[in-house]
């Protein structure tokens, strides 16, 4: 599941590329890595055999910048395609927020595609991830090879959920970035739904309908966009005020002696220093000042005050949006 770092104001999500051996998983993330600015991407780490088959996994992080003041990062992984590395597959899949299934379009690979898809369902279930709701897209890869199966036939076998799917050629990058942008958008929307309904509660929204693709290449979907604002800052402030009213209000007393000379009108200005420690998550500070005046006199004199008690609410601190507003707000 996505990791929230409140101190650093970061959200880190995990996307796993899954599929049979040599279907193009590593080539896909290599293309993605090459298309992202070096200042926003981490090093691509791969552990492959002499035949260029992934032995353990490929990995690289991407920093997508700030969304509403909250830094969003994605970690991209691939799993080994060979069946006898299933333990590694399961390990890499743990905590996935979204999955890209890379299918091989060659006619003789349909059985391996189906086997890998069933293996994916089993491993998701082992981690308590709902196959029916997890953000999921499909790449029908190797569309450039002669005799590639028709997209409609592959969709009929491999896309029972009707998720977005793309005809891709990882070696040239056709459709790969579009699939990546779509899965990132779906992951952010899924995180939003889970935050709305409460942590740990499964989402019940219907999956996104499949996007039509041509037999040669996929169309370009819209760029990922920030979702609607989840919680208004006024609601956060109102809730904080109610909690503060229920709790015992801390008090600080200051005693000052102000000397005056002579009778007649006198204007007195007093500066009272206050030290406040503001912790993470505080949206605003409300300060109440009560003034009690006592006077000392050597005879029968008196002091008349125009106002004996004053209450002041200073200007609110610069608006600090709640966690979801930072991530999914209007920015």
Strands 98-104 and 45-48: unpaired
Q: How many CA atoms lie within 13 A of 11 on its CB side?
A: 25
Residue 232 to residues 124, 240, 279, 283, 330: CA-CA distances in angstroms? 35, 13, 20, 12, 11
| Closest residue by Cα to residue 22 from 95, 93, 88, 116 | 116
CA distance 92 to 109: 23
**In this structure, are residues 291 and 309 in contact, taking their beta carbons and an 8 Å threshold?**
yes
Domains along the sequence of the chain with CATH: 3-227 (3.40.50.300), 244-331 (no CATH)
pLDDT of 124 reads: 97
Helix (H) or strand (E) holding 330: none
pLDDT of 240 reads: 63
pLDDT of 225 reads: 44
Q: Which residue has the tokens 């507003």?
A: 325
Strands 136-141 and 98-104: parallel
**In this structure, are residues 173 and 35 in contact, taking their beta carbons and an 8 Å threshold?**
yes
pLDDT tens for the chain, residues 1 to 331: 788 787 888 989 999 999 999 999 999 999 999 999 999 999 888 765 444 454 445 777 888 788 657 789 999 999 887 666 788 889 889 999 999 999 999 999 999 999 999 999 999 999 999 999 999 999 999 999 999 999 999 999 999 999 999 999 999 999 999 999 999 999 999 988 888 876 544 444 444 444 445 444 444 444 444 444 445 556 655 666 666 555 555 566 666 666 766 677 777 676 666 666 666 656 566 666 667 766 666 555 666 655 544 444 444 444 444 444 444 444 3
CA distance 186 to 13: 11
pLDDT of 30 reads: 92
């Amino acid at each position: 599941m996505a990791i929230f770092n409140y101190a650093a104001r970061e959200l880190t999500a995990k996307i796993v590329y899954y599929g049979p051996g040599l279907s193009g998983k590593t080539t896909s993330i290599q293309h993605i890595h090459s298309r992202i600015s070096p200042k926003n991407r981490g090093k691509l780490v791969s552990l492959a055999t002499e035949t260029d088959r992934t032995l353990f996994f490929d990995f690289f992080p991407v920093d997508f910048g700030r969304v509403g003041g909250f830094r969003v990062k994605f970690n991209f992984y691939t799993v080994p395609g060979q069946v006898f590395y299933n333990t590694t597959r399961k390990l890499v899949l743990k905590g996935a927020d979204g999955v890209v299934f890379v299918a091989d379009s060659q006619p003789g690979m349909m059985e391996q595609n189906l086997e890998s898809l069933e293996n994916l369902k089993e491993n998701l279930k082992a981690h308590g991830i709902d196959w029916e709701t997890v953000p999921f897209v499909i790449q029908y890869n190797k569309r450039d090879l002669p005799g590639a199966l028709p997209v409609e036939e592959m969709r009929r076998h491999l896309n029972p959920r009707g998720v977005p799917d793309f005809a891709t050629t990882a070696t040239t990058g056709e459709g790969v970035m579009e699939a990546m942008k779509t899965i990132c958008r779906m992951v952010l929307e899924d995180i939003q739904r889970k935050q709305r309904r409460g942590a740990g509660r499964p989402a019940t929204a219907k999956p996104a309908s499949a996007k039509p693709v041509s037999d040669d290449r996929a169309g370009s979907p819209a760029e990922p966009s920030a979702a609607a604002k989840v919680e208004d800052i006024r609601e956060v402030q109102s809730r904080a005020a109610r909690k503060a009213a229920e709790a015992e209000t801390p008090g600080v007393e200051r005693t000052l002696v102000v000397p005056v000379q002579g009778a007649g009108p006198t204007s007195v200005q007093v500066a009272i220093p206050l030290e406040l420690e503001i912790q993470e998550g505080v949206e605003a500070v409300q300060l109440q000042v009560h003034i009690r005046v006592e006077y000392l006199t050597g005879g029968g004199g008196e002091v008349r005050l125009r106002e004996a008690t004053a209450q002041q609410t200073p200007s609110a601190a610069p608006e600090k949006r709640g966690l979801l507003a930072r991530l999914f707000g209007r920015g």
